Chain A
Amino acid sequence: MNSQSLRSRRETLAHYYHKVPATVFLLFGMILFFSLLSDKYFTVSNIMNVIVQCSSGVGIVALASYLAICSTGVDLSLGGIVSLSGMITAKILTWDIPLFSQIRNNNPVFLLLIAVTAAIAAGAAIGSMNGLILARTKIPSFIVTLGMYKICETFSRVIAGGTTIRINGLPLFEFIGNGSLLNVQIGRRSIGLLPISMIIMLLLYIFFSFVMKKTRFGTYVYAIGGNNESAALSGINTVLTRYRVFLYGGMIAAFTGIIFTSRLTSASAQNGLGLEFDGIAAAVVGGAAMSGGRSTPGRTLIGALIISVMKNGFNMIGMSNSIQMIAIGCVLIAVVSVDTLRNRRRFV
């Protein structure tokens, strides 16, 4: 067979069809299912609603979960980081000490920059604590990140001081979570087609797709996930890579904290707690294996969308919270078992 016919065969539709992950069909199936049950489901406003819910909740956290799972760990501290970073943002924006009051009056944009930087720095600090302990000791990531989660929750609660911090009169900050670049008028409501939170989420996903595919770090993460021993023997600095995975995870989760606080224009210590399990569910539905080394950021995004579509859909067709939990559990088990059974057949 000459090379030309090979190339033409590669470029057939069937080839691209096989490249599409099966979860895409699940996602569209679900959207179809909910559209049939509720006529309000497949509308522009609701679709944008799902996307904003995704990007201010499970969407970005799922990326951090995926990184941890890909390197055979699990990061339970993400929910705590979301809560803490959101709280720090709110606190700095509303703190009544002379320094911050002055900046707030003179240059609110600068204050916003300080708040966002501080939130991401807090995420990085918690993430690097995770990473330092995990890279240097053999304590399971479950335990370390669980401990860190509790530490984050404490700091968040202490900063909150038992109340909800409300942020008023900072339209620029509210724009992060609620704003949009392109608005259309449908009926009486104005709907944003390019929400800022979605753009942030997509940028993070595009950036990490690039990182995981094209940089040394990405290859190292897959190598560690595949086989830690052989990765170490082939000269990969596994300690540093593991450290960076959790450092980046913390920073990514901090973005969710900022968006979450901005969307609610308030921060309470409860915000974001529990998101870590949603993130794990999303990453796994997207195709990540707990044994590490599988899936991509793109697939994780599909997983996060599936979780968001399900939560929103069950609300729209008037199902209670309890049915939602049962459905998410069932879908998780079903998707993962189909995935494992397919893989077993391929390799065994």
Chain B
Amino acid sequence: MKKYWGLLKPRLDTLSRLTALAIIFLSLVIVSPSFASAANIINVLRITSLTLMMAIGVALCMLVGGIDLSIGATIALTSILFGKFFQVGQSTASMIMGITGMLAVSILIGLVNGFCIVFLHLPPFLATFGVQQIVRGLAYLLTSGLVYSNFTEDFRFIGGGQLFGIPMPIIIAVILLLIISFTLNKTTFGYRVYAVGSNRESARYSGIPVNKTLITTYVLSSLIAGIAGIVYTSRLNAAEPTIGAEFAQTAIAAAAIGGISFRGGNGNVLGVVIGALILTLVSNGMTLLGVDSNWQVGISGVVIILSVLVDRNASVRKT
């Protein structure tokens, strides 16, 4: 018995999170007849995949003890850039150029974030908030009030197409998930991320290149936001500077529900998947049940607070 408890104990948080997810899922199956249809489940998964992509990036930053508020603005700016590039040629070549440009700019934003945090010693909350302001300002500046739309079929395939009957966003999210999961669990970089997040000073003294790890993490987060931006722009078939205003909050909420600690060094990718699923299931369920859209906002707020409470580490405070 004790042997099993030893196996179980470190996974208790994941288990309780899974239980919460299962309870939400089952109650939706019982309450709403249209929920359990294959079409709706695929729809839920497709919406989840986008939240998941952004949440993984933010989760990486939270694992090193930081946070990334700039991802929504990054998605807005990169999609505007794509619109600009696309307008030039409206061909496959301009599409590839646009996508390359999107990824390059998102890496640049990540570098700026990392630079502010590592070399200017800014708290991550402020650094990424400032960068978010600048990036969204640039997005507005570049559009001058235009909305780009009507992209080519090729590009729309990324967000709206299907491969073997599975929507592309899901495939992209799963691939991304596997890569990040592998990186975190099996590579030196992943080990460094946890070490830096747990205790930055001791990581530094044990010879881990802390600054490099931090910058790489923020670049990765922005890069993943860039990829999410491609998928989102393609799915929306439009680019405008207002998109993504609440993406950062949703992503952080998903990561927090998934047990990624704000102090860093604690949490895994599976938790983020559960967090993103819980958020999407709740909003999808409310829509199916015909809950008034005004109330949906508040109920999602209650769900965020309650589902973080499931975590053992978040439960009772003594001081």
Chain A residues with a Cβ under 8 A of chain B? 74, 133, 135-140, 142-144, 146-151, 153-155, 157-158, 228-229, 231-232, 238-239, 277, 280-281, 284, 289-291, 320-330, 332-333, 336-337, 340-341, 344
Chain B interface, number of residues (Cβ within 8 angstroms): 47
The answer to whether A322 and B123 touch (CB under 8 A), given A137-B316, A154-B294, A154-B298, is no
The answer to whether A340 and B122 touch (CB under 8 A), given A153-B297, A154-B298, is yes
**Residue in chain A with minimal CB distance to B250:** A146
Distance (Å) between the CB of B104 and the closest chain A CB?
20
The answer to whether A143 and B305 touch (CB under 8 A), given A232-B319, A336-B122, is yes
Tell whether, in the assembled complex, residue A138 and residue B253 are in contact, meaning their CB atoms are under 8 Å apart: no
The answer to whether A284 and B319 touch (CB under 8 A), given A140-B262, A143-B308, is no
Distance (Å) between the CB of A123 and the closest chain B CB?
17
Which chain B residues lie closer than 8 Å to A133 at the CB level? 305
Query: Pick the contact of A341 from B121, B125, B305 — CB < 8 Å?
Result: B121
Tell whether, in the assembled complex, residue A320 and residue B141 are in contact, meaning their CB atoms are under 8 Å apart: yes
- What are 17 of the A-B contact pairs (CB < 8 Å)? A133-B305, A135-B317, A136-B316, A143-B304, A150-B300, A151-B301, A153-B298, A157-B297, A158-B294, A232-B318, A326-B137, A329-B131, A329-B137, A332-B130, A333-B127, A336-B130, A340-B122
The answer to whether A326 and B308 touch (CB under 8 A), given A142-B262, A228-B319, A239-B319, is no
Distance (Å) between the CB of A87 and the closest chain B CB?
12
Tell whether, in the assembled complex, residue B141 and residue A326 are in contact, meaning their CB atoms are under 8 Å apart: yes
Which chain A residues lie closer than 8 Å to B130 at the CB level? 329-330, 332-333, 336
The answer to whether A325 and B133 touch (CB under 8 A), given A143-B256, A158-B294, A239-B317, is yes
User: CA of A260 to CA of B317 in the docked complex: distance in angstroms?
Assistant: 36
B54 at the interface (CB under 8 A from A): no
User: CA of A142 to CA of B319 in the docked complex: distance in angstroms?
Assistant: 18
Which chain B residues lie closer than 8 Å to A155 at the CB level? 298
User: CA of A78 to CA of B315 in the docked complex: distance in angstroms?
Assistant: 24
Tell whether, in the assembled complex, residue A341 and residue B120 are in contact, meaning their CB atoms are under 8 Å apart: yes
Tell whether, in the assembled complex, residue A323 and residue B302 are in contact, meaning their CB atoms are under 8 Å apart: no
B38 at the interface (CB under 8 A from A): no
Interface string of B282-317 (1 = CB under 8 A from A): 000000000010111111111011001100011111
Tell whether, in the assembled complex, residue B125 and residue A290 are in contact, meaning their CB atoms are under 8 Å apart: yes
**Residue in chain A with minimal CB distance to B133:** A329
Query: Pick the contact of A332 from B129, B137, B139 — CB < 8 Å?
Result: B129
Tell whether, in the assembled complex, residue A139 and residue B133 are in contact, meaning their CB atoms are under 8 Å apart: no
Interface string of B45-85 (1 = CB under 8 A from A): 00000000000000000000001000000000000000000
Which chain B residues lie closer than 8 Å to A277 at the CB level? 129
Tell whether, in the assembled complex, residue B137 and residue A324 are in contact, meaning their CB atoms are under 8 Å apart: yes
Distance (Å) between the CB of A130 and the closest chain B CB?
10
Tell whether, in the assembled complex, residue B297 and residue A150 are in contact, meaning their CB atoms are under 8 Å apart: yes
Told that A322-B139, A325-B136 touch, could you supply 20 new A-B pairs with CB distance under 8 A? Answer: A74-B125, A133-B305, A137-B309, A137-B314, A137-B316, A139-B305, A142-B252, A143-B253, A143-B256, A146-B253, A150-B300, A153-B297, A158-B295, A280-B129, A322-B140, A330-B130, A330-B134, A336-B123, A340-B120, A341-B121
User: CA of A319 to CA of B253 in the docked complex: distance in angstroms?
Assistant: 35
**Residue in chain B with minimal CB distance to A332:** B130
The answer to whether A290 and B126 touch (CB under 8 A), given A138-B314, A148-B301, A238-B319, is yes
**Residue in chain A with minimal CB distance to B249:** A146
The answer to whether A337 and B122 touch (CB under 8 A), given A151-B298, A154-B298, is yes
Tell whether, in the assembled complex, residue B137 and residue A322 are in contact, meaning their CB atoms are under 8 Å apart: yes
User: CA of A136 to CA of B120 in the docked complex: distance in angstroms?
Assistant: 35
**Residue in chain A with minimal CB distance to B262:** A140
Chain B facing A: main interface SS: helix
Interface centre among B138, B298, B302 (most CB of A within 10 A): B298
Chain B residues with a Cβ under 8 A of chain A? 67, 116, 120-123, 125-127, 129-134, 136-141, 249, 252-253, 256, 262, 292, 294-302, 304-305, 308-309, 313-319
User: CA of A238 to CA of B125 in the docked complex: distance in angstroms?
Assistant: 24
The answer to whether A328 and B304 touch (CB under 8 A), given A138-B313, A153-B297, is no
The answer to whether A333 and B120 touch (CB under 8 A), given A324-B137, A325-B140, is yes
Distance (Å) between the CB of A156 and the closest chain B CB?
9
Distance (Å) between the CB of A133 and the closest chain B CB?
7
User: CA of A87 to CA of B249 in the docked complex: distance in angstroms?
Assistant: 24
User: CA of A324 to CA of B137 in the docked complex: distance in angstroms?
Assistant: 7
Query: Pick the contact of A147 from B120, B296, B302 — CB < 8 Å?
Result: B302
The answer to whether A284 and B305 touch (CB under 8 A), given A143-B253, A154-B295, A322-B138, is no
Distance (Å) between the CB of B202 and the closest chain A CB?
18
User: CA of A277 to CA of B130 in the docked complex: distance in angstroms?
Assistant: 10
The answer to whether A340 and B121 touch (CB under 8 A), given A148-B301, A330-B130, is yes
Tell whether, in the assembled complex, residue B304 and residue A146 are in contact, meaning their CB atoms are under 8 Å apart: yes
User: CA of A344 to CA of B120 in the docked complex: distance in angstroms?
Assistant: 11
Which chain A residues lie closer than 8 Å to B297 at the CB level? 150, 153-154, 157
Which chain A residues lie closer than 8 Å to B317 at the CB level? 135-138, 239
User: CA of A328 to CA of B135 in the docked complex: distance in angstroms?
Assistant: 11
Tell whether, in the assembled complex, residue A154 and residue B140 are in contact, meaning their CB atoms are under 8 Å apart: no
Query: Pick the contact of B126 from A151, A284, A321 — CB < 8 Å?
Result: A284
Across chains A and B, which 9 residue pairs bring their CB atoms closest together, nearest first?
A154-B298, A150-B301, A329-B133, A325-B137, A322-B140, A232-B319, A326-B137, A329-B134, A337-B120
Which chain B residues lie closer than 8 Å to A281 at the CB level? 129
Which chain B residues lie closer than 8 Å to A74 at the CB level? 125
**Residue in chain A with minimal CB distance to B70:** A329
Interface centre among A143, A144, A158 (most CB of B within 10 A): A143
User: CA of A332 to CA of B134 in the docked complex: distance in angstroms?
Assistant: 10
Distance (Å) between the CB of B89 and the closest chain A CB?
26
Which chain B residues lie closer than 8 Å to A142 at the CB level? 67, 252, 256, 262
**Residue in chain B with minimal CB distance to A280:** B129
**Residue in chain A with minimal CB distance to B131:** A329
User: CA of A138 to CA of B249 in the docked complex: distance in angstroms?
Assistant: 19
Which chain A residues lie closer than 8 Å to B304 at the CB level? 143, 146-147, 150
Interface centre among B133, B134, B308 (most CB of A within 10 A): B133
